[in-house]
């Protein structure tokens, strides 16, 4: 069963790459009741969300393949012991390009210039002597919180345009790719150093009990009034009210937010971020490129083929009984 609206646009290549005789059910437009009706006979579920009730009713389920890196929408405890859960990535480069674009837009106040020109006003330093100059990014310092696929790709692009890179991650002793040159990489205990020493802070860590609310009033104050925050992780990693207050009062210079505290059909936040001139708002689409989802479709098909052949699966986040044996 394929129950993912974006990946359903790659349904044909996904089916073509999967070997064997699979009966695919494209359930992305199904009502919840129909999914529940079909779930007891499903062997492979491809999606990012599954209710606990459906997980318990999935008697034949062998594999849940999440369409992305985050699996917080899958109730692991409700799945049977034989069910393996795997993830997929391939979003690092796409998100990294979005991060670099956002930093440059905020550094040059592209948002303000765009709004002014649309309203008929020329807004640049040639006509307004009080308008601040924009800044280039070369030589500025970017601090990356989390150094997995997304964090390392952000580092590569930032390094390519002359930004100086430092990062914190859970295991600071893990190998660093040979092509990366960083000022330093530390453990999570060095977060205060990263915040105070960076002009740009990029959040890329997964949401977990340890990272929920990681960036609050003290952390934002440590960044300083010239700093930019970019969040491409999960909204709740940053404290909602604290960020709004910091942006509206000038505690930090600006923010690019691609992830939020709520989703459709609700407003993205309880606070009116849309009224702030120093915020770049996007609807969690930084990784939504053809490259990302074509590669994900290929990897998901390959994992299904591995399951049929009895071979080890890739990107396992929760091993079923057979996989763990």
Query: Which residue out of 65, 169, 234, 253 is catalytically annotated?
Result: 234
Q: Is 22 a catalytic residue?
A: no
Start-to-end CA span in the chain (Å): 26
- 232/244 Cα distance (integer angstroms): 17
Alpha helices, DSSP H, located in the chain: 11-17, 32-38, 52-57, 92-107, 110-118, 149-160, 191-196, 217-223, 240-249, 290-309, 321-324
The residue from 284, 288, 306, 318 that is catalytic is 284
Coil vs helix vs strand at 187: coil
Burial class of residue 133, CB neighbours in 10 A (0-12, 13-18, 19+): exposed
Q: What is the DSSP letter of 26?
A: B
**Catalytic status, residue 234:** yes
Q: Catalytic site residues?
A: 234, 284
């Amino acid at each position: 069963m394929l129950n993912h609206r974006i990946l359903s646009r790659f349904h044909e290549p996904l089916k073509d790459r999967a070997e064997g005789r699979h009966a695919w059910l494209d359930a992305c437009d199904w009502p919840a009741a129909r999914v529940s009706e079909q779930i007891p006979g499903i062997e492979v579920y491809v999606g990012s969300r599954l209710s606990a009730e459906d997980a318990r009713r999935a008697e034949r389920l062998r594999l849940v393949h999440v369409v992305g890196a985050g699996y917080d929408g899958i109730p692991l405890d409700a799945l049977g012991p034989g069910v393996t859960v795997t993830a997929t990535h391939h979003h690092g480069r796409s998100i990294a390009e979005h991060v670099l674009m956002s930093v440059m837009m905020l550094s040059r106040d592209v948002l303000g210039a765009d709004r002014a020109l649309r309203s008929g006003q020329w807004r640049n330093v040639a006509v307004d002597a009080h308008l601040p100059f924009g800044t280039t990014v070369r030589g500025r310092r970017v601090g990356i919180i989390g150094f997995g696929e997304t964090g390392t790709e952000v580092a590569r692009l930032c390094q390519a345009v002359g930004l100086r890179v430092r990062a914190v991650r859970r295991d600071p002793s893990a190998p660093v790719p040979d092509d990366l040159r960083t000022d330093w990489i530390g453990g999570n205990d060095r977060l205060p150093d990263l915040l105070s020493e960076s002009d740009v802070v990029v959040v890329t860590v997964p949401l977990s009990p340890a990272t929920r609310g990681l960036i609050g009033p003290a952390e934002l104050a440590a960044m300083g009034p010239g700093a930019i925050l970019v969040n491409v992780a999960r909204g709740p990693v940053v404290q909602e009210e604290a960020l709004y207050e910091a942006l509206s009062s000038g505690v930090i210079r600006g923010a690019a937010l691609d992830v939020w505290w709520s989703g459709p059909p609700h407003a993205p936040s309880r606070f009116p971020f849309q009224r702030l001139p120093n915020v770049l708002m996007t609807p969690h689409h930084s990784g939504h490129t053809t490259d990302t989802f074509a590669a994900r479709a290929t990897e998901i098909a390959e994992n299904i083929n591995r399951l049929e052949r009895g071979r080890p699966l890739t990107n396992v986040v929760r091993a079923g009984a057979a996989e763990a044996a």
